[in-house]
Structure formats: C-alpha cells, structure tokens
C-alpha cells in the first residue's frame, strides 16, 4: 500500500497484520481522488474507520490542511501513528482511538451547538458486514458536520449499499470497482 500522489506520493504505508483491517486498494483510492479533485483551500478531512489512515493521508498529501483519524483497533492506531510520523504529517493530524460511530455522534452533538468548523471531505470505510455505515451516516446527517459543497464518501460492498438519504446527507453518485462500491453524499439542507 502506498500514497498515490501529492507531497508524499509514492511513499509506502504500513498496515496492521491480519484480516481485521481491509485497506482501500490503490486502484480505488486513485479513482476516488480523481473524482474528488484537489481539496479546497484550508480543507479539513475526517477519516472514520481509518485503519492505517490511507484515505486521510492521501488527502493530506494532495493538499488538505488537516485530518482527523478515528479507529477502534489498537493495532491500526499504532500503524496509523507510525505512518503519520514517517511521512511528517503528525502536526496536521489528530488521532482518536475509539468507536467511530460514537465519535460521529459526538461530532454531531458538538456541531449543533458550537462553532467547530465542518469537514470538507469525510471518508467512511467500515467493516463491510457490520452495518456501521448507516449508523455513522445517521449521526453525521443530523448536524452540519459536512461543509456545504463538501463530499462524504462511503466505501462498501456493492451488495450492501447504504441508504440514499440520511438527514441532510443525500446520495449524489455511486461508482463500482469489482465488489467494492463508493457512494458519494452531498449536504442538502433543504431536505
């Protein structure tokens, strides 16, 4: 696994051993970031179910200003920390060891009552069979966590797509890569 492009493009990432973490393939990451294009100036990124951090690190490498990473696995957290240190990205990163759905719920509560800046890109790459994508989407769609014009992307098994709408988050696009599908959500405050 490697960073595809940007300031640390070509550098290798370490991933936790075993089958509990399923890193996004280089091909799918390359397609995802081609669709998203360059991050907006000052972009903040949230990488939920981060694993080794490939999606958030790719965003930072391509010019995002800051990233927040969340994963419940201690082994993944150690690999993520090492990747950020090796790539010199610790200063622009925030790492949380804990349940990603609970973290999303906390963000939604905080967003409703504070001036916390929303995220321009949010990545959700949960374990496919656990039903966690819809739970995280329900939390994030209930508050202005995603910036207007931003994108929330869910990586999932093509046979288990998340719902079309979650509060203010509405499906805008979907792309399939073998058994993997990317579903893109945009913020729709009118709904």
pLDDT tens digits, 99-112: 999 999 999 888 86
Question: Would you say the pTM of this structure is higher than 0.85?
Answer: yes
Q: What is the pLDDT of residue 128?
A: 77
Residue pLDDT, tens place only, 160-177: 888 999 999 999 999 999
- Residue 181: pLDDT band (50, 70, 90) is very high
Q: What is the pLDDT of residue 113?
A: 67
- The C-alpha atoms of residue 156 and residue 160 are separated, in whole angstroms, by 7
- Residue 130: pLDDT band (50, 70, 90) is confident
Residue 137 clears pLDDT 60, i.e. is over it: yes
Q: What is the pLDDT of residue 145?
A: 93
Q: Which homologous superfamily is 26-187 in?
A: Vaccinia Virus protein VP39 (3.40.50.150)
Q: What is the pLDDT of residue 17?
A: 78
- Of these ranges, 88-92, 113-117, 123-127, 187-191, the one predicted with the greatest mean pLDDT is 88-92
- Residue 117: pLDDT band (50, 70, 90) is confident
Residue pLDDT, tens place only, 14-55: 988 765 556 677 888 999 999 999 999 999 999 999 999 999
In 3D space, the residue among 62, 63, 67 whose CA is nearest the CA of residue 29 turns out to be 62
The residue ranking higher by pLDDT, 189 or 58, is: 58
Task: Answer yes or no: are the C-beta atoms of 184 and 171 closer than 8 Å.
Answer: yes
The total number of residues written for the chain in this structure? 191
Tally the C-alpha atoms within 13 A of residue 163's C-alpha that lie toward its C-beta.
13
Residue 82 clears pLDDT 70, i.e. is over it: yes
- The C-alpha atoms of residue 12 and residue 14 are separated, in whole angstroms, by 7
Look over the chain and give the mean of its residue pLDDT values, rounded to a whole number. 91
What 8-state DSSP symbol labels residue 189?
Answer: T
Domain ranges of the chain: 26-187
């Amino acid at each position: 696994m490697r960073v595809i492009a940007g300031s640390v493009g070509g550098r290798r990432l370490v991933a936790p051993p075993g089958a509990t973490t399923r890193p996004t393939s280089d091909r799918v990451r390359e397609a995802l970031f081609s669709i998203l294009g360059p991050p907006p100036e000052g972009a903040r990124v949230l990488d939920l179910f981060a694993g080794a951090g490939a999606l958030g690190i790719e965003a930072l490498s391509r010019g995002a200003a800051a990233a927040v990473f969340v994963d419940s696995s201690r082994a993944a957290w150690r690999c993520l920390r090492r990747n950020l240190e090796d790539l010199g990205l610790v200063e622009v990163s925030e790492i949380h060891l804990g349940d990603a759905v609970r973290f999303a719920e906390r963000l939604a509560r905080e967003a409703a009552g504070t001036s916390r800046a929303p995220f321009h890109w949010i990545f959700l790459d949960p374990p496919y069979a656990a039903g966690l994508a819809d739970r995280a989407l329900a939390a994030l769609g209930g508050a202005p966590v995603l910036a207007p014009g931003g994108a929330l992307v869910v990586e999932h098994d093509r046979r288990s797509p998340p719902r079309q709408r979650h509060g203010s988050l509405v499906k805008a696009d979907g792309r399939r890569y073998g058994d993997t599908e990317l579903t893109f959500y945009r913020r729709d405050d009118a709904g």
